[in-house]
Amino acid sequence: MEINSLFSVKGKTAIVTGGSRGIGEMIASGFLANGVKVYISARKAPALIEKANELSEKFQQECIPVPCDLSSSEGINNFVTEIKNNEESIDFLINNAGAAWGETFESFSEKGWDKVMNLNVKSMFFLTQQFKTLLTKNASLEDPSRVINIGSIDGLNVPAFETYSYSTSKAAVHHLTRVMAAKLVKENILVNAIAPGPYPSEMLGSAVNSDYTEIEKRNPRKRVGSAEDIAGLVIFLCSRAGAYTVGETITSDGGIVKTSSHNLG
Protein backbone atom coordinates (compact mmCIF):
# COMPACT_ATOMS: atom_id res chain seq x y z
CA MET A 1 0.00 0.00 0.00
CA GLU A 2 3.00 2.33 0.04
CA ILE A 3 2.88 5.11 -2.53
CA ASN A 4 6.09 3.92 -4.21
CA SER A 5 4.48 0.56 -4.95
CA LEU A 6 0.98 1.83 -5.66
CA PHE A 7 2.06 4.35 -8.29
CA SER A 8 5.35 2.95 -9.57
CA VAL A 9 5.83 2.62 -13.34
CA LYS A 10 9.61 2.22 -13.16
CA GLY A 11 11.27 -0.13 -15.63
CA LYS A 12 8.32 -0.16 -18.03
CA THR A 13 8.31 0.68 -21.75
CA ALA A 14 5.80 3.13 -23.24
CA ILE A 15 4.81 4.54 -26.60
CA VAL A 16 3.39 8.07 -26.74
CA THR A 17 2.14 9.08 -30.19
CA GLY A 18 2.26 12.80 -30.90
CA GLY A 19 4.82 12.99 -28.12
CA SER A 20 6.91 15.95 -29.25
CA ARG A 21 4.68 18.75 -27.94
CA GLY A 22 1.52 19.62 -26.01
CA ILE A 23 -0.18 16.93 -23.95
CA GLY A 24 1.94 14.20 -25.56
CA GLU A 25 5.15 15.84 -24.39
CA MET A 26 3.67 16.29 -20.90
CA ILE A 27 2.81 12.58 -20.70
CA ALA A 28 6.20 11.52 -22.05
CA SER A 29 7.91 13.76 -19.47
CA GLY A 30 5.90 12.22 -16.63
CA PHE A 31 6.91 8.73 -17.71
CA LEU A 32 10.58 9.63 -18.18
CA ALA A 33 10.75 11.33 -14.77
CA ASN A 34 9.56 8.06 -13.23
CA GLY A 35 11.87 5.59 -14.91
CA VAL A 36 9.93 4.60 -18.04
CA LYS A 37 11.63 4.06 -21.40
CA VAL A 38 9.58 6.10 -23.89
CA TYR A 39 9.18 6.03 -27.66
CA ILE A 40 7.64 9.21 -29.10
CA SER A 41 6.30 9.75 -32.60
CA ALA A 42 5.43 12.79 -34.72
CA ARG A 43 5.46 13.72 -38.40
CA LYS A 44 8.17 16.38 -38.31
CA ALA A 45 11.43 14.47 -37.87
CA PRO A 46 13.85 17.32 -36.93
CA ALA A 47 11.59 18.71 -34.18
CA LEU A 48 10.85 15.19 -32.89
CA ILE A 49 14.52 14.19 -32.72
CA GLU A 50 15.42 17.46 -31.01
CA LYS A 51 12.64 16.98 -28.45
CA ALA A 52 13.67 13.37 -27.74
CA ASN A 53 17.26 14.47 -27.12
CA GLU A 54 16.09 17.30 -24.89
CA LEU A 55 13.85 15.03 -22.80
CA SER A 56 16.48 12.25 -22.55
CA GLU A 57 18.97 14.77 -21.19
CA LYS A 58 16.50 16.47 -18.86
CA PHE A 59 15.28 13.28 -17.20
CA GLN A 60 18.37 11.09 -17.68
CA GLN A 61 16.13 8.42 -19.18
CA GLU A 62 15.85 6.96 -22.67
CA CYS A 63 13.46 8.84 -24.98
CA ILE A 64 13.54 7.46 -28.52
CA PRO A 65 12.12 9.36 -31.53
CA VAL A 66 10.32 7.49 -34.32
CA PRO A 67 9.21 9.95 -37.05
CA CYS A 68 6.09 8.80 -38.92
CA ASP A 69 2.72 9.86 -40.31
CA LEU A 70 0.11 7.80 -38.49
CA SER A 71 -2.78 9.03 -40.65
CA SER A 72 -2.03 6.38 -43.31
CA SER A 73 -1.83 2.59 -43.04
CA GLU A 74 1.65 2.75 -44.55
CA GLY A 75 2.78 5.12 -41.81
CA ILE A 76 1.23 2.92 -39.12
CA ASN A 77 2.94 -0.19 -40.56
CA ASN A 78 6.32 1.56 -40.68
CA PHE A 79 5.94 2.74 -37.10
CA VAL A 80 4.93 -0.69 -35.78
CA THR A 81 7.79 -2.36 -37.68
CA GLU A 82 10.30 0.08 -36.21
CA ILE A 83 9.10 -0.59 -32.65
CA LYS A 84 9.01 -4.38 -33.20
CA ASN A 85 12.60 -4.25 -34.47
CA ASN A 86 13.64 -2.75 -31.13
CA GLU A 87 11.27 -4.20 -28.53
CA GLU A 88 9.83 -7.65 -27.79
CA SER A 89 7.13 -6.14 -25.60
CA ILE A 90 5.60 -2.83 -24.55
CA ASP A 91 3.68 -2.04 -21.39
CA PHE A 92 1.85 1.20 -22.17
CA LEU A 93 0.42 2.55 -25.43
CA ILE A 94 -0.73 6.17 -25.23
CA ASN A 95 -2.77 7.02 -28.34
CA ASN A 96 -2.38 10.78 -28.26
CA ALA A 97 -1.64 11.85 -31.87
CA GLY A 98 -4.48 13.96 -33.18
CA ALA A 99 -5.52 16.77 -35.47
CA ALA A 100 -8.24 19.42 -35.50
CA TRP A 101 -9.96 21.28 -38.31
CA GLY A 102 -12.10 24.41 -38.10
CA GLU A 103 -14.43 25.53 -40.87
CA THR A 104 -17.98 26.86 -41.11
CA PHE A 105 -20.82 24.39 -41.43
CA GLU A 106 -21.64 25.67 -44.92
CA SER A 107 -18.12 25.27 -46.26
CA PHE A 108 -16.80 22.36 -44.18
CA SER A 109 -14.70 20.22 -46.52
CA GLU A 110 -14.30 16.50 -47.04
CA LYS A 111 -10.56 17.00 -46.59
CA GLY A 112 -11.19 18.49 -43.14
CA TRP A 113 -13.46 15.58 -42.27
CA ASP A 114 -11.21 12.76 -43.50
CA LYS A 115 -7.92 14.12 -42.16
CA VAL A 116 -9.28 14.37 -38.62
CA MET A 117 -11.23 11.10 -38.59
CA ASN A 118 -8.32 9.15 -40.08
CA LEU A 119 -5.79 10.32 -37.52
CA ASN A 120 -8.00 10.66 -34.45
CA VAL A 121 -10.04 7.46 -34.78
CA LYS A 122 -8.87 5.10 -37.51
CA SER A 123 -5.17 5.22 -36.67
CA MET A 124 -5.95 4.73 -32.96
CA PHE A 125 -7.78 1.49 -33.71
CA PHE A 126 -5.20 0.07 -36.10
CA LEU A 127 -2.23 1.04 -33.92
CA THR A 128 -3.78 -0.77 -30.95
CA GLN A 129 -4.63 -3.74 -33.17
CA GLN A 130 -1.07 -4.02 -34.48
CA PHE A 131 0.58 -3.52 -31.09
CA LYS A 132 -1.59 -6.16 -29.42
CA THR A 133 1.06 -8.88 -29.62
CA LEU A 134 3.65 -6.63 -27.93
CA LEU A 135 1.12 -5.54 -25.29
CA THR A 136 0.16 -9.12 -24.40
CA LYS A 137 3.76 -10.36 -24.15
CA ASN A 138 4.33 -9.34 -20.51
CA ALA A 139 0.70 -8.72 -19.49
CA SER A 140 -0.63 -10.71 -16.55
CA LEU A 141 -3.62 -10.77 -14.22
CA GLU A 142 -1.49 -9.07 -11.53
CA ASP A 143 0.22 -6.60 -13.87
CA PRO A 144 -1.82 -5.87 -17.01
CA SER A 145 -0.66 -3.76 -19.95
CA ARG A 146 -2.41 -0.44 -20.57
CA VAL A 147 -3.80 1.47 -23.52
CA ILE A 148 -4.84 5.07 -22.92
CA ASN A 149 -6.72 6.93 -25.64
CA ILE A 150 -6.68 10.72 -25.50
CA GLY A 151 -10.16 12.03 -26.23
CA SER A 152 -11.48 15.50 -25.43
CA ILE A 153 -14.27 17.24 -23.56
CA ASP A 154 -15.34 18.39 -27.05
CA GLY A 155 -16.49 14.78 -27.48
CA LEU A 156 -18.72 15.19 -24.39
CA ASN A 157 -19.93 18.79 -24.75
CA VAL A 158 -20.96 20.80 -27.79
CA PRO A 159 -17.70 22.66 -28.60
CA ALA A 160 -17.38 26.42 -28.74
CA PHE A 161 -15.67 26.37 -32.15
CA GLU A 162 -16.90 24.98 -35.49
CA THR A 163 -14.79 21.83 -35.41
CA TYR A 164 -17.35 19.30 -36.63
CA SER A 165 -15.05 16.40 -37.43
CA TYR A 166 -12.91 16.95 -34.32
CA SER A 167 -15.71 16.78 -31.76
CA THR A 168 -17.29 13.85 -33.61
CA SER A 169 -13.96 12.02 -33.70
CA LYS A 170 -13.41 12.47 -29.98
CA ALA A 171 -16.89 11.13 -29.16
CA ALA A 172 -15.95 8.14 -31.31
CA VAL A 173 -12.68 7.75 -29.35
CA HIS A 174 -14.60 7.57 -26.07
CA HIS A 175 -16.90 4.84 -27.35
CA LEU A 176 -14.14 2.97 -29.15
CA THR A 177 -12.36 2.90 -25.78
CA ARG A 178 -15.27 0.99 -24.22
CA VAL A 179 -15.51 -1.40 -27.16
CA MET A 180 -11.76 -2.15 -27.15
CA ALA A 181 -11.75 -2.40 -23.35
CA ALA A 182 -14.40 -5.12 -23.46
CA LYS A 183 -12.37 -7.10 -25.98
CA LEU A 184 -8.87 -6.67 -24.57
CA VAL A 185 -9.55 -6.95 -20.83
CA LYS A 186 -9.80 -10.71 -21.36
CA GLU A 187 -6.15 -10.63 -22.44
CA ASN A 188 -4.95 -8.49 -19.53
CA ILE A 189 -4.82 -5.26 -21.53
CA LEU A 190 -6.74 -2.44 -19.85
CA VAL A 191 -8.08 0.30 -22.11
CA ASN A 192 -9.18 3.69 -20.77
CA ALA A 193 -9.57 7.20 -22.16
CA ILE A 194 -8.81 10.67 -20.86
CA ALA A 195 -10.90 13.64 -22.04
CA PRO A 196 -8.76 16.74 -21.46
CA GLY A 197 -10.18 20.21 -21.28
CA PRO A 198 -8.00 23.23 -22.06
CA TYR A 199 -4.27 22.54 -21.85
CA PRO A 200 -1.58 24.75 -23.37
CA SER A 201 -0.86 23.30 -26.81
CA GLU A 202 -0.28 24.32 -30.39
CA MET A 203 -3.79 23.15 -31.29
CA LEU A 204 -5.58 25.24 -28.65
CA GLY A 205 -3.00 28.03 -28.85
CA SER A 206 -3.66 28.60 -32.54
CA ALA A 207 -7.39 29.01 -31.81
CA VAL A 208 -6.82 31.68 -29.14
CA ASN A 209 -3.57 33.27 -30.41
CA SER A 210 -1.74 31.62 -27.47
CA ASP A 211 -3.59 33.87 -25.01
CA TYR A 212 -5.26 31.64 -22.42
CA THR A 213 -6.52 34.51 -20.21
CA GLU A 214 -10.20 34.26 -21.19
CA ILE A 215 -10.14 30.46 -21.04
CA GLU A 216 -8.64 30.61 -17.54
CA LYS A 217 -11.29 33.09 -16.39
CA ARG A 218 -14.11 30.83 -17.58
CA ASN A 219 -12.65 27.65 -16.08
CA PRO A 220 -14.01 26.62 -12.66
CA ARG A 221 -10.38 26.13 -11.50
CA LYS A 222 -9.37 29.53 -12.96
CA ARG A 223 -6.44 28.04 -14.88
CA VAL A 224 -5.56 25.75 -17.77
CA GLY A 225 -4.20 22.26 -17.25
CA SER A 226 -0.57 21.61 -16.35
CA ALA A 227 1.88 18.80 -17.10
CA GLU A 228 1.40 17.44 -13.57
CA ASP A 229 -2.37 17.19 -14.10
CA ILE A 230 -2.23 15.01 -17.20
CA ALA A 231 0.94 13.06 -16.33
CA GLY A 232 -0.41 12.26 -12.85
CA LEU A 233 -3.62 10.87 -14.29
CA VAL A 234 -1.77 8.76 -16.87
CA ILE A 235 0.60 7.40 -14.22
CA PHE A 236 -2.39 6.49 -12.01
CA LEU A 237 -4.03 4.59 -14.85
CA CYS A 238 -0.77 2.78 -15.73
CA SER A 239 0.20 1.88 -12.15
CA ARG A 240 -1.04 -0.69 -9.65
CA ALA A 241 -3.43 1.99 -8.35
CA GLY A 242 -5.32 2.01 -11.66
CA ALA A 243 -5.38 -1.73 -12.31
CA TYR A 244 -9.12 -2.10 -11.58
CA THR A 245 -10.22 0.82 -13.78
CA VAL A 246 -11.41 -0.37 -17.20
CA GLY A 247 -13.23 1.29 -20.11
CA GLU A 248 -13.52 4.68 -18.42
CA THR A 249 -13.34 8.13 -19.98
CA ILE A 250 -11.95 10.38 -17.26
CA THR A 251 -12.23 14.13 -17.73
CA SER A 252 -9.28 16.37 -16.82
CA ASP A 253 -10.77 19.78 -17.38
CA GLY A 254 -10.92 21.78 -14.13
CA GLY A 255 -14.62 20.98 -13.76
CA ILE A 256 -16.02 22.29 -17.05
CA VAL A 257 -18.11 19.25 -17.99
CA LYS A 258 -19.52 18.46 -14.56
CA THR A 259 -20.04 21.92 -13.08
CA SER A 260 -20.93 24.21 -15.99
CA SER A 261 -24.42 25.64 -15.63
CA HIS A 262 -25.61 24.36 -19.03
CA ASN A 263 -24.80 20.85 -17.82
CA LEU A 264 -26.75 21.23 -14.59
CA GLY A 265 -30.15 21.69 -16.21
Contact by Cβ (8 Å): 72, 46: no
Instruction: Choose among 183, 103, 92, 195: nearest CA to 134.
Output: 92
Contact by Cβ (8 Å): 98, 120: yes
The alpha carbon dihedral of 232, 234, 238, 241 has a sign of positive
> Which residues participate in catalysis according to the annotation?
166
CA dist., res. 35 & res. 124, Å (int): 25
CA dist., res. 256 & res. 260, Å (int): 5
Counted residue by residue, the chain has a size of 265
The DSSP bridge partners found for residue 93 are 15, 147
The CA distances from residue 190 to 57, 160, 169, 238, in Å, are 31, 32, 21, 9
Contact by Cβ (8 Å): 127, 17: yes
